[in-house]
Structure 1
Amino acid sequence: MTPEDRERLAKSRFQTLQLLRFTGIIVMIIGMWVWGGDILREGGWPMLGIPLFAFGLFEALVLPTILAQRWKSPPEE
């Protein structure tokens, strides 16, 4: 693998991790809005908002960590 290929791969992976974090935060915000706001029905809808929030939290915090560990390159000798 050439240095240009490694750099392209690293940039692509970095962008993927940032996109996951960003969309996870957006899903968390929507989940909180559905949970406590009057967007879908009067008084909020916790049965839908809480799982949305939890999925967004997983997507923003846990999934990027798992992918980063999986993508770590082995030490070169």
Structure 2
Amino acid sequence: MADEDIWKRRFHLFLLARLFGLAIFFLGLAVIYSDLLREGGWPTVGAILVIAGTIDAVFAPRLLKKMWAEQDRHDG
């Protein structure tokens, strides 16, 4: 059962990393096209958030997977 709990926890962390990246991406879109931070939008800040969210959504899960593979190699 302990092995199943580890994989469940890893799956949840993997999913949270993706969702956090998507949330940052959509926040960036909101900053660009709405009056969220200032009237008329703020394309520069929004674009930075969009890029950061995209990078996070794509690369954070890959880094987690790589880290876990290294842990598994050392544990077993």
TM-score range, shorter chain: 0.7 to 0.9
Instruction: Write the distance in 1 (CA, Å) between the matches of 2:12 and 2:66.
Output: 16
| CA shift for structure 1 position 36 | 2.2
Q: Which runs of 4 or more aligned residues in structure 1 lie more than 3 Å from their structure 2 counterparts after TM superposition?
A: none
Tell me which amino acid in the other structure corresponds to 1:45: W
Check if 1:35 corresponds to 2:32.
yes
> Aligned residue pairs: how many?
72
The equivalences for 1:1-40 within 5 A come to 4-40=1-37
Residue 42 of structure 2 corresponds to 45
Amino-acid identity (%): 34
TM, length-normalised to structure 2:
0.80
Tell me which amino acid in the other structure corresponds to 1:52: L
Residue 58 of structure 1 corresponds to 55
What is the CA RMSD across the aligned residues, in angstroms? Answer: 1.7
Instruction: Write the distance in 1 (CA, Å) between the matches of 2:48 and 2:2.
Output: 39
Instruction: Write the distance in 2 (CA, Å) between the matches of 1:59 and 1:7.
Output: 26
TM, length-normalised to structure 1:
0.79
Q: CA offsets per residue over residues 17-63 of structure 1, 9 Å max, x none?
A: 10111121111101111012222222210222112112211221111
